[in-house]
A and B are shown apart, each in its own frame.
Chain A
Amino acid sequence: LEARLEQAAMLKRVVDAIKDLVQDCNFDCNDSGIALQAMDNSHVALVSMMLKSESFSPFRCDRNIALGINLTSLTKVLRAAQGDDILTLKAEDAPDVVNLTFESPESDRLSEYDIKLMDIDQEHLGIPDTEYAATITLPSSEFSRITRDLSALSESVAIECTKEGVKFTCTGDIGNGSVSLRQHTNVENDAKSVDISLTEPVALTFSLKYLVNFCKAAGLSDRVRLCLSNEVPLLVEYGLSNNSYLRFYLAPKIGD
């Protein structure tokens, strides 16, 4: 494998966003790019990352390899990279280390690190392609604010999407709160629009602790996409460049 990333910042931010949710992960490398799928310890949430080969230049993967990496170790090494360093990942066949180099564009500074790999036999879950009943695209900062504000009142949030819009409601010991958003197009700045597409009304309840955790990825994209259908996990997707993405799936809570 040889994969060169123009900006180390993307990998730094992706790892920073998931390192508190999952610990040991397989980075599955093949000719379409680098994928990662992992569940949190309680098997309530699933992270699915895909860094397409187009996000790298150059990208070469002669044989499929799984790089078992502890994210705490990877975080320690990535801390040594500046956001605008050129980052290159290298690994041989049946590797026992993954090699990372950070080149600073202006000065002739080159750092090189090897991280020991682990054998991680992670069950790979089949994520079915779903036609979601409701898709909401909104500023990632707005979603972060909603989850943060409501998590102060309760550990669960009910998300209800109708043709009027989407409503986040929570009730807790000190009281209750709700945030309602309607379809809104910001003519000056499309990144601030709220787009809602709905084929049928949905209403589900989720853990706010996990949603707040997912919002660590807000730095990756100024928009976030929420996909909902009744009785299936919520999809929270942060789109990256070249159709790469970081997706979080969260199982719903049932029964009030």
Chain B
Amino acid sequence: RPSQQTIGKFFGNP
């Protein structure tokens, strides 16, 4: 079962 990532992993805080 593929595991869901979160968006924060890709879009850091500026």
By beta carbon, the residue of chain B nearest A37 is B11
- State how many residues of chain B have any CB contact under 8 Å with chain A: 13
Find out whether the CB atom of A233 lies under 8 angstroms from the CB atom of B7. yes
Q: Report chain B residues within 8 Å CB of A42.
A: 4, 6
Task: Flag whether A220 is at the interface (Cβ < 8 A).
Answer: no
Name A249's closest neighbour in chain B (CB-CB).
B7
Judging by beta carbons under 8 Å apart, are A251 and B5 in contact? yes
Report chain B residues within 8 Å CB of A173: none
Residues of A within 8 A of B5 (CB): 44, 251-254
CA distance in complex: A253, B9 (Å)? 12
Chain B contacts for A44, CB-based, 8 A: 4-7
- What's the count of A-B pairs with C-beta under 8 Å? 56
Q: Which of B4, B12, B13 contacts A251 (CB 8 A)?
A: B4
Report the Cα distance A46→B10, complex, angstroms: 11
| Interchain CA distance A46-B6 in the complex, whole Å | 10
Query: Which residues of B lie under 8 Å from residue A46 when comparing CB positions?
Result: 7, 11
Q: Which residue of B lies closest to A45 (CB)?
A: B7
A125 contacts B11, C-beta separation under 8 Å:
yes
Q: Among B2, B7, B13, which residue has its beta carbon within 8 angstroms of that of A254?
A: B2
Q: How far is the CA of A39 from the CA of B13 in the complex (A)?
A: 13
Query: What distance in Å separates the Cβ of B4 from its nearest Cβ neighbour in chain A?
Result: 5
With A42-B6, A156-B2, A254-B5 as contacts: A123 and B11 at CB distance below 8 Å:
no
Residue of A nearest to B5 (CB): A251
Given A126-B12, A126-B13, A255 contacting B2 (CB threshold 8 A): yes
8 A–B contacts, CB within 8 A, in A order: A39-B7, A42-B4, A43-B6, A43-B8, A46-B11, A124-B14, A127-B11, A254-B2
Which residues of B are in contact with A by a Cβ distance under 8 Å? Answer: 2-14
